[in-house]
Structure 1
Amino acid sequence: MNIKQATTIDEVIQLLDEIIEISKVEQSAIGLFTMLYREVTVRIKEGIADHSFQNGERMEKLDVIFANRYIKAYYQYKAKEKPSECWEFSFQQAEKFWPIVVQHLLLGINAHVNLDLGVAAAQVSTVDDIGDLKGDFDKINGILSSLVGNVEQCLIKIWPTLTILLKWTGKMDNFFIDFSMEVARDGAWKFANEFVALPENQTEACIQLRDKKITEIARLVSNPGYFVSAIFKFIRLFEKGTVAQKIIDLQIVQLKKVDCAAT
């Protein structure tokens, strides 16, 4: 299989659209994170256009490198080649029945932010100027956090009685997402600063070591303990709609947010 790669942010969106459409046809949960990530990319494109980022040219370069790591991992997995371990684990979970929407999203975020974002940030920087990237780096994570926060509306549509559970647990799912995003952001920035200082002959070993650590986090997301796992299984049994419909629901929620922001 041809490993497709983008050269511009528009090509990134096009390739993500292709993965989403394939996922709908194949009823693959891989499309859930891809749908969310597509919206992140669109927001970044809009931010570049309206000069929200400190350095728009650098941001597009970062976005393309960042996205290509995910796109490459996807096509490697589809070709039965070996992607990074954390992505392989995420894709394998997408083939299973029990993970719920939140878990699929967190598995994708874990691999992409904790591993890919740090590598991409280092690749557009030097030891001397990486500090200049911090503001734009945080904006990317802010965009992702805001989009994940909107997913609760989608989950309620997929499983209407989720509102009862949220009241009972004190919005446990929001805490889980917010905490994970904060930890991921800080860890990714620390990793980027360590990675950018490495000599070239040590970078691959560093990525592999980081990959193993991030895969362990993925295993915790997949199996967060008996009590939480039991709740997630209960949610999964009453989820409504096919995987394709869930992907569409995610898209509708994000589009509604855009419409509200524009009015």
Structure 2
Amino acid sequence: MIEPQPTRRRPAADVQHAVERMRELARALPARDGIAVFNRVYLTVTEEVVRRSADGLFRDPLASAELSARFAERYLSAVEVAAGGHRPPACWRPLFQLRRHPGVRPLQFALAGINAHIGHDLALSVVDTCTARGCEPAEVEGDFERVGQVLTALEERIREDLMPGPDLLDIADPLTHLLGAWSLERARDAAWAAARVLWRLRDLPEVYGEFIEGVDSSVGMVGRCLLTPLG
């Protein structure tokens, strides 16, 4: 007897479900908590992507919605794993471990979360989406880049909102050097390259797993540096 398969929500509905879960987190967490800081940023980005999708930004709205949903689910899964007392992926551990450290500034929390999510989760989400839809990564590349345009447009606003004061940071402030050391554009380029490699390795489970583990560890080390307490 064939077991009935669970009915899967449409991708757009999955995205909205993820948005609601992020809104619940925003209501539940203290504002200064590092996860709360990243959650606010990610919620803003996801809501903007949903709005742009409704306005016709994407060539394939269903594929883009599925990618957005799978991407969000990896972050929300890390939150649930940590809340259950278990270890999230290495890329997320620095943020969960230092989320309440008084010497870490809000912008550092935001960058560490973005680093973990893009550096590790994005490539896996691209592969998962292509596998589920039976398509090649090249078929979603255009919409991947369109999402990048949305992120780039929001990046400056996010940084300004999380700056420690109304004026530009002094050149001697250590946070200035952290801001200059991490690049959203480079992180997205690396994520796309990783997705292409993973797609080629998908029929080699052992090598595939080793590659993911290496990416996870490397992204985690970068996150640890981004969260260096600055006082």
TM-score, normalised to structure 1, is 0.73
Secondary structure class of the residue paired with 1:53:
coil
Secondary structure class of the residue paired with 2:226:
helix
1:148 CA drift (Å): 2.5
Tell whether 2:50 aligns with 1:45: yes
Tell whether 2:59 aligns with 1:54: yes
1:207 CA drift (Å): 1.9
Q: Runs in 1 of length 4+ with deviation above 6 angstroms?
A: none
1:140 CA drift (Å): 1.9
**Which residue of structure 2 lines up, in the alignment, with residue 150 of structure 1?**
157
1:169 CA drift (Å): 6.2
1:178 CA drift (Å): 8.7
1:73 CA drift (Å): 0.2
1:97 CA drift (Å): 1.1
**Which residue of structure 1 lines up, in the alignment, with residue 226 of structure 2?**
221
TM-score, normalised to structure 2, is 0.83
CA contact (8 A) 2:19 2:43 kept: yes
Give me the whole-angstrom Cα distance separating, in 2, the residues matched to 1:208 and 1:142. Answer: 29
Secondary structure class of the residue paired with 1:83:
coil
Give me the whole-angstrom Cα distance separating, in 2, the residues matched to 1:10 and 1:177. Answer: 34
CA contact (8 A) 1:90 1:107 kept: yes
1:195 CA drift (Å): 0.8
- Describe the shift of the 1:54–1:79 C-alpha distance in structure 2 as closer, same or farther (beyond 3 A): same
| 1:102-148 deviations in Å (ceiling 9; x for gaps) | 11011001100010011101111269621122221122223223223
**Which residue of structure 1 lines up, in the alignment, with residue 169 of structure 2?**
165
The aligned runs of 1:10-89 (5 Å cut-off) are 10-24=16-30, 27-89=32-94
**Which residue of structure 2 lines up, in the alignment, with residue 207 of structure 1?**
212
Aligned residues: 216
| 1:155-211 deviations in Å (ceiling 9; x for gaps) | 45x534xx1535x569x8499269511210111010000011222623333322210
**Which residue of structure 2 lines up, in the alignment, with residue 100 of structure 1?**
105
Identity of counterpart residues, as a percentage? 23
Give me the whole-angstrom Cα distance separating, in 1, the residues matched to 2:188 and 2:34. Answer: 24
CA contact (8 A) 1:148 1:177 kept: no
CA contact (8 A) 2:57 2:146 kept: no
Tell whether 2:143 aligns with 1:136: yes
- 212-221 vs 102-111, which moves further: 212-221
Q: Which runs of 5 or more residues in structure 1 are unaligned?
A: 1-5, 224-228, 234-263
Give me the whole-angstrom Cα distance separating, in 1, the residues matched to 2:162 and 2:105. Answer: 9
- Describe the shift of the 1:164–1:120 C-alpha distance in structure 2 as closer, same or farther (beyond 3 A): closer
**2:183 is aligned with what amino acid?**
S
1:50 CA drift (Å): 1.5
Tell whether 2:199 aligns with 1:196: yes
The match for 2:114 among 109, 128, 139 is 109
Name the structure where helix makes up a greater proportion of residues. 1
- Describe the shift of the 1:9–1:215 C-alpha distance in structure 2 as closer, same or farther (beyond 3 A): same
- Describe the shift of the 1:14–1:93 C-alpha distance in structure 2 as closer, same or farther (beyond 3 A): same
Give me the whole-angstrom Cα distance separating, in 2, the residues matched to 1:177 and 1:133. Answer: 30
CA contact (8 A) 1:58 1:124 kept: yes
